[in-house]
Chains A and B, each alone.
Chain A
Amino acid sequence: MTRLDLEQGAAMSVPLARQLELLTERVIAPSKRRVRLRDLLRDTAVIRVLAARDFKVKYKQSLLGPIWLVFQPLALLGAFFVAFRNLANVASGGVPYAVFALVGLSVWSFFLAAMTIGSASVITNSNFVRFTPCPRPAFPIAAIIASLPSFAVTAAGAIVAAAVSDRLSIHVLLLPVGLFWLLLLTAGIVGITSSLAVRFRDVISAMPFLLQVGVFLAPVGYTLAGLGGTMRTLVEANPLTGLIEAWRWMMISGYQASVGPVIVSILETIVLVVVGWLIFSGIETTMADEI
């Protein structure tokens, strides 16, 4: 069977491709799973365009526009100061509370935004799912990428705050690794929620509640040291806990991260990425019929 290179065929003008018989043959047949990981690397163009759209539409017909990128985390930080520092008098392990909280907030607010847009991403793109051959993994991936600018602002704020209070760690050089880990974990969970939401809209209804509970089950505004018993077990089982601990260790010099949750989180990330891919690619074949 003649199977020739798709990219070449596509790049050439139609008549030339025809002369040279460079047309790819595609076989459409019943399948339990058709998207492949290597296809994702080929589809970066559409992911870029979708991500740009997801980012742009947030600030269309908005007076302040991207100023919200700075204002939102600042407002949250203020709320954390009042709630955790002044009311509950939470300890931050000898680190200035603003630095401590900003690192947690940057990871958390990225996760919150990516989960909210990402979980609904396939449903909100239902017209693309039903009428275009656009690769479906592009929707959640684009939603996650579109949440990165706000993350960059808070993470930069955390680095500046750490530097100003003379607590910036040399481990900050490992930031790309930390970012990769954060993206993987988010992608794994969003892969599960965005595809399940196609079948069960309950996922979307449950999301705000789960995320509201989630912020208390992760050491975003408090330290693990102050916890005990069941609560501590719950928080340590949260995949975000180890990730936040690792981020604090990367950014704040002298920060004593607990190793246990970090290992738990790494293992959970691997499981969630694999499971997320299997669930998403499994549901993907019938998305146009079920959405």
Chain B
Amino acid sequence: MRGHGDGMLGLAIHAEGLSKHYRLGELHSLSGTMTRILRPRAAAAAAGLEALVEVDLTVRRGEALGVAGTNGSGKSTLLKILAGTTLPTSGTMRVRGRVLPLLAVGQNFHPELTGRENVTLFASSLGIPRDAIFAGMDEVTEFAELERHMDTPVKRFSDGMSSRLSAAIAMQFPADIYVFDEVLAVVDREFQVRCIEAIKRLNRRGSTIIFVSHNSQQVAEVCKRVVWLDSGRVRDDGAPGDVLDAYAHAHGRADEQ
């Protein structure tokens, strides 16, 4: 099989024949089970969704890759497999180095805990060692511009403040591969610019970046290569200008802001 041995050394991610099948409908309810037993044909018709179909993807170390695609194209599933939260139905993905995924902003905070306590909690859940968290606390606080709020329970934070804090956590700790899924959607323009600068800095230092955004401008700014996913398949793969143009053309520029 390709991808073994020395061939993997310059690579960050190598996916071969990656597929993910989801069952649709209610999975373990009485009514769902009854439907499957009583009307197997109807149940089978509505049975599944192919989120990813035989995806091959190779990302070199230090690359900044954008993933474009409409809702339901398989972007998030690909990122979730990379982050290790879900497993593929078939195929393999080889990942080299430490992955730091930010798949949702502001979702992992406990409302009753303070900003500081939540940084420790969320960073630990991402596998960041304790001393690294304490060492990086000031940088996270400063980057999120929340110096005065770190001892306040997060339930008193605005959506923007929570988003800034999670983005800051994902960008201030060392990793080999950073995964960003739609992380700049809720924050203001100024903070978006700072995040993009931070992501580019991580990339310059040699980390691999996987970046998903509905904002094509941001994708073009961060990434040197874009993969376009369409119904779980790779439809295009190349320079951001070409791929994003083709994507915008196919979707009537509806996704561009």
Contacts and interface: CB of A to CB of B under 8 A. Distances in A.
Interface of A: 1-2, 9-11, 13-15, 17-18, 21, 23-31, 34, 45-46, 49-50, 53, 56-57, 60-61, 127-134, 199-200, 285-286, 288-290
B81 A28 contact: yes
Interface in B225-250: none
B213 to A, nearest CB: 17
Contacts of A10: 98, 127, 129
B94 interface: yes
A60 B92 CA distance: 44
Contact of A133 (B27, B83, B206): B83
Contacts of B9: 2, 21
23 contacts: A2-B8, A2-B9, A9-B98, A10-B98, A14-B174, A14-B205, A14-B206, A24-B97, A24-B98, A25-B95, A28-B92, A29-B92, A49-B125, A60-B112, A60-B113, A60-B153, A131-B85, A132-B85, A132-B126, A199-B27, A285-B87, A286-B86, A286-B87
7 A-B pairs with least C-beta separation: A134-B125, A23-B97, A133-B84, A60-B112, A49-B124, A131-B103, A28-B93
B80 A288 contact: yes
B216 interface: no
Nearest to B28: A199
Interface of B: 4-6, 8-9, 22, 27-28, 61, 80-99, 101, 103-104, 107-108, 110, 112-113, 117, 120-122, 124-127, 129-130, 153, 174-176, 205-207
Contacts of B125: 46, 49-50, 128, 132-134
B71 to A, nearest CB: 17
Given A2-B9, A46-B125, A289-B22, A131 B98 contact: no
Contacts of A61: 112
Contacts of A15: 205-206
A132 B117 contact: no
B217 to A, nearest CB: 25
Contact of A56 (B96, B117, B207): B117
A51 to B, nearest CB: 11
Contacts of A26: 84, 94-96
Nearest to B181: A131
B90 A288 contact: no
B85 A25 contact: no
B94 A57 contact: no
Contact of A57 (B86, B90, B108, B112): B112
Q: Of A9, A34, A128, which is in contact with the most chain B CB atoms at under 10 Å from its CB? A: A128
B117 A25 contact: no
Contact of B206 (A18, A53, A289): A18
Given A10-B129, A28-B87, A2 B124 contact: no
A156 B71 CA distance: 57
A133 B205 contact: no
A135 to B, nearest CB: 9
B148 to A, nearest CB: 20
Contact of B120 (A49, A131, A288): A49
B121 A45 contact: no
Given A24-B97, A29-B91, A30-B88, A133 B110 contact: no
B49 to A, nearest CB: 11
Q: Of B93, B110, B124, which is in contact with the most chain A CB atoms at under 10 Å from its CB? A: B124
A9 B177 CA distance: 13
A28 B207 contact: no
A131 B121 CA distance: 14
B28 A289 contact: no
Contacts of B120: 49
Contact of A53 (B27, B104, B117): B117
Nearest to B123: A49
A136 to B, nearest CB: 10
B104 A289 contact: no
Given A2-B8, A23-B97, A285-B87, 20 more contacts: A11-B129, A15-B205, A15-B206, A18-B206, A26-B96, A29-B87, A46-B127, A49-B130, A53-B121, A56-B112, A56-B117, A57-B110, A57-B112, A60-B153, A131-B103, A131-B107, A132-B101, A133-B99, A133-B101, A289-B86
B244 to A, nearest CB: 26
A203 to B, nearest CB: 11
Contact of A28 (B61, B88, B124): B88
Contacts of A46: 124-125, 127
A130 B92 CA distance: 20
A11 B128 CA distance: 10
Contacts of B27: 199, 290
